[in-house]
Amino acid sequence: MGGTAMTFKRAVAKLRAQDWSAILIELMIVIVGVYIGMWVANRNQESVERQDTIRLLNQLRPEIRYQVEQAALLKRYMDTTGRYAKIAFAGWAGDPKISDNDFVIAAYEASQATGVSTNTTSWSGMFGANQVQNIRDPVLRSRLVRVLSLDAGVLDYRQAQTAYRQHVRETIPAHVQDAIRAKCDDYLAEGTFGIPYLTPTCSLQLPSADAATTAAALRARPSLVQDLNWHRATIAAMLYNFNAYSRTLEALDDAIVRTRDAEPADNASLVANEQERR
């Protein structure tokens, strides 16, 4: 019994001898060390994710440039159809300077339409909410959000599939349309894709009988004039939307080049490429 009491007293004495201040300091050092380690790990992870986002934006630049170039080509194409439309209007107005041959060709070529398939939803899938938040630069972030929130429906080239396009091609005989397409259809330059090129003039000479009967059939449907008016208004709206879309993309491209978030080496290369392109 006496031995047990002595052991207990020695244990109590040892505990009393402990330096509790030192123990507390050591405990705080451990806690702070764990906290700092977690903070550093989180910061490193955030940095990796942010750089991944910027790298993804840099990889997006070629697609941005392609879309901007396609918008310019679309305007050129539709300007050409607009010149054909003026000849067609003059043909319906009975202008003696417009031959039946030129009237028929112009009426058909005015119905030509093209466009690019633009789907901003696919870009939204690339940049989730977390990736957008990884962008520190407020200008770049806001311009990216603006692009991702665009309504691709206003850019859909199927808007150009108007009543005029349908009705004028219902009126012009199939073999006449085939002859126009064989000689003066739009085309893509070799090795390219996207918006085609439409020849601004057509040297096709239709058989006189075909030209006369087709021109008469077109003039017998004066409602086609109103259809063409609406068609050109639709084209103008589509081009306006594409122009606004193109400017938004260019603003995003400029922000990517100039952002403070860009990786130094990659950004210097991008700036050099941009200056060379301009």
Q: How far apart are CA 127 and CA 9, in angstroms?
A: 68
Where is pLDDT greater, at 10 or 259? 259
6 part of a folded domain: no
In a domain, 50, yes or no: no
Predicted pLDDT of residue 242: 86
Residues 215, 254, single domain; the answer is yes
Residue 267 CB neighbours (<10 A): 18
Is residue 1 in some structural domain?
Answer: no
Q: Would you say residue 4 lies in a domain?
A: no
Query: Within 10 A of 67 (CB to CB), how many other CB atoms are there?
Result: 19
Report the number of distinct structural domains present in the chain: 2
Does 130 share its domain with 102? yes
Beta-carbon count within 10 A of 231 CB: 24
| Residues 39, 66 within the same domain | no
CB–CB of 250/68 below 8 Å?
A: yes
Give the model's pLDDT for residue 267.
42
What pLDDT, in 10s, does the model give residues 39-83? 665 565 556 566 677 777 777 788 888 888 888 888 999 999 999
Residue 199 is assigned to a structural domain of this protein: yes
Tell me, yes or no, whether 101 and 21 share the same domain: no
> What pLDDT, on a 0 to 100 scale, did the predictor assign at position 89?
97
pLDDT of residue 54: 74
| Domain annotation covers residue 136 | yes
Q: Can you give the pLDDT at residue 25?
A: 63
Which residues constitute the domain of residue 208?
61-277
Whether residues 32 and 116 share a domain: the answer is no
Distance CA 162, CA 165 (A): 5
Q: Are residues 269 and 144 in the same domain?
A: yes
* Residue scoring higher pLDDT (195 or 192): 195
Binning pLDDT at 50, 70 and 90, where does residue 274 land? very low
Give the mean pLDDT of 15-23. 54
Q: Are residues 169 and 248 in the same domain?
A: yes
Asked if the structure places residue 133 within a domain, the reply is yes
More confident residue, 134 or 271: 134
Residues 40 and 110 in one domain: no
Backbone angle region of 191, left / alpha / beta, with phi > 0 → left and psi within -120 to 50 → alpha: left
More confident residue, 199 or 191: 199
Is residue 266 one of the residues assigned to a domain?
A: yes
Confidence band, pLDDT 50/70/90 cuts, at residue 271: very low
